[in-house]
């Protein structure tokens, strides 16, 4: 929806509960997809596993479109970040990362949102990313714009993606 307003060339995706701790961690795009939150307090300031792509990441418009964006079939908590990693890998892209010192983030402690329980299908869906990624993503995204709020520094677009099938 944002691309209807302006031809953005870079997208940064961030969990709302993560706060960067080092201002040298530039939120911009690179020649390869970038995982920016490599050292989070909730994981003891270490990467939990090499394929981890959760928290904060950036992709150029070309990279994002090449993987058909985010999957639409994940409801509840978990799995979509690993699906994105699989999409990037299957298209021959590698993940770049800042150092652990630069990529440090703190998580704001909170209770999990109601209705956002663990996604029981996440492991099966992750295992089948390569078969589903061309059919499930930005090309098949369906939504209704509910509200557009323009501020001096940002535009907030609220959409309705419907209910889980």
Structural domains of the chain sorted by starting position, each given as residue range(s) with its CATH number in brackets: 2-160 (3.90.550.10)
- pLDDT score at 64: 95
The sign of the torsion formed by the CA atoms of 101, 93, 53, 162 equals positive
Predicted TM-score of the model (pTM) = 0.84
What is the C-alpha R_g of the chain? Answer: 16
**Residue 91: how many other CB atoms lie within 10 Å:** 14
The residues carrying an active-site annotation are 15, 17, 77, 80-81, 107, 110, 112
- The burial class, CB within 10 Å (0-12 / 13-18 / 19+), for 72 is buried
Structure tokens at 117: 């329980």
- pLDDT score at 55: 93
Phi, psi dihedral angles at 63 (to 5 degrees) = -65, -45
For the chain, 165 residues long, give each residue's pLDDT as a single digit of tens: 888 888 999 999 998 899 999 999 999 999 999 999 999 999 999 999 899 999 999 999 999 999 999 887 766 656 688 889 999 999 999 999 999 999 999 999 877 666 666 666 666 676 777 777 688 888 888 899 999 999 998 889 999 988 776
Task: Please check whether residue 58 is in contact with residue 27, taking contact to mean a CB–CB distance below 8 angstroms.
Answer: yes
Residue 56: CB partners within 8 Å, gap ≥ 6?
A: 12, 13, 14, 15, 18, 20, 27, 35, 36, 37, 105
Rounded Cα distance between 82 and 78, Å, is 8
């Amino acid at each position: 929806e944002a691309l209807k307003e302006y031809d953005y060339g870079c997208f940064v995706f961030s969990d709302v509960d993560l706060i960067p701790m080092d201002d040298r961690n530039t939120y911009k795009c690179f020649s390869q997809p970038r995982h920016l939150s490599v050292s989070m307090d909730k994981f003891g300031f270490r990467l939990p596993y090499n394929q981890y792509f959760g928290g904060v990441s950036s992709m150029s418009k070309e990279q994002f479109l090449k993987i058909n964006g985010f999957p639409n079939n994940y409801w509840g908590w978990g799995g979509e970040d690993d699906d994105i990693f699989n999409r990037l890998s299957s298209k021959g892209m590698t993940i770049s990362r800042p150092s652990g010192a630069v990529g440090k983030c703190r998580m704001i402690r909170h209770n999990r949102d109601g209705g956002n329980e663990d996604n029981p299908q996440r492991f099966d869906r992750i295992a089948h990313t390569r078969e589903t990624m061309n059919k499930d993503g930005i090309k098949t995204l369906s939504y209704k714009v509910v509200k557009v709020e323009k501020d001096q520094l940002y535009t907030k677009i609220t959409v309705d993606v419907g209910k889980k099938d």
